[in-house]
């Protein structure tokens, strides 16, 4: 491939499930990726640890320039995954931005000190244990929305009343503040990031995808 030419579709990391790899390849776009390595010396001069710069560079090489369809929550998530200068706004560790918001938001998307994908508003709120988990959740939402016969959205205090007896957590999304649950004929996504990060319980939301068969439940 000629130097500078952008691939027509992004290469999904092999650690993703087949469902997520297919989602990235079929629905993702690769835009020109900014090289942040030339900023290394300047960032070092500003007191940013070399290990944190290495983390940002590794993220950029794996995910930088990948644009995915909007998420069902968080006003769609980052427009394009893109690392920026690491920052340490609190005592719990260094973070770096994961990409600009699609619309004006009260928070930004960040990669946490242990690689978590989350939001920083009043404080740091990790949503998934990794960027892979975020992408897996996007892929699962797209898949479930396609196969479900019903999609029910629940907000606020009503989310607490969801009966998850008989459901099991969906491991591949690596849920922390946000979780996915699989039942015998349905999938449930629980989005708690804004409720926790903004101290606004009314923002908690759940999406219930019903009427799913075996393929709709797994899709891998």
Q: What is the pLDDT of residue 8?
A: 56
Same domain, 139 and 110: no
Q: Residue 87, exposed/middle/buried by CB under 10 A (0-12, 13-18, 19+)?
A: middle
Q: For 31-35, 77-81, 188-192, which range has the lowest pLDDT when averaged over its residues? A: 31-35
pLDDT at residue 156 tops 90: yes
Q: What is the pLDDT of residue 154?
A: 97
For residue range 56-72, what is the model confidence (pLDDT) as tens digits?
999 999 999 999 999 99
For residues 60 and 33, is the Cβ–Cβ distance under 8 A? yes
Instruction: Look at 176 and 2; give whichever has higher pLDDT.
Output: 176
For residues 111 and 117, is the Cβ–Cβ distance under 8 A? yes
- Residue 9 in any domain: the answer is no
Q: How far apart are CA 154 and CA 159, in angstroms?
A: 6
Enclosing domain of residue 26: 18-130
Closest CA to 111 of 96, 127, 123: 96
Same domain, 81 and 126: yes
Q: For 82-91, 101-110, 143-152, 192-201, which range has the lowest pLDDT when averaged over its residues? A: 82-91
Chain centroid offset of residue 151 CA: 21
Same domain, 107 and 156: no
For residue range 124-147, what is the model confidence (pLDDT) as tens digits?
999 999 999 999 999 999 999 999
Q: Which residues contact 99 (CB under 8 A, 6 or more apart)?
A: 78, 79, 80, 81, 82, 109
**pTM (predicted TM-score):** 0.93
Same domain, 38 and 121: yes
């Amino acid at each position: 491939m000629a130097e500078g030419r952008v691939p027509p579709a992004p290469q999904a990391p092999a650690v993703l499930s087949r469902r997520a790899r297919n989602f990235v390849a079929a629905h993702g776009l690769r835009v020109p990726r900014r090289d942040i390595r030339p900023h290394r010396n300047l960032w070092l001069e500003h007191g940013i640890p070399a290990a944190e710069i290495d983390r940002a560079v590794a993220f950029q090489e794996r995910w930088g320039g990948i644009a995915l369809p909007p998420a069902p929550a968080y006003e769609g998530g980052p427009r394009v995954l893109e690392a920026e200068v690491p920052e340490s706004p609190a005592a719990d560790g260094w973070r770096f931005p994961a990409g600009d918001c699609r619309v004006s938001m009260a928070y930004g998307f960040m990669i946490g000190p242990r690689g978590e994908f989350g939001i920083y508003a009043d404080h740091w709120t990790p949503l998934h244990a990794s960027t892979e988990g975020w992408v897996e959740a996007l892929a699962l939402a797209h898949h479930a929305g396609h196969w479900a016969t019903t999609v029910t959205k629940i907000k606020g205090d009503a989310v607490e009343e969801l009966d998850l007896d008989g459901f099991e957590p969906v491991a591949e999304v690596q849920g922390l503040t946000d979780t996915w649950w699989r039942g015998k004929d349905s999938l449930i996504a629980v989005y708690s990031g804004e409720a926790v990060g903004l101290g606004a319980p009314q923002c908690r939301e759940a999406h219930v995808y019903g009427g799913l068969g075996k393929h709709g439940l797994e899709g891998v």
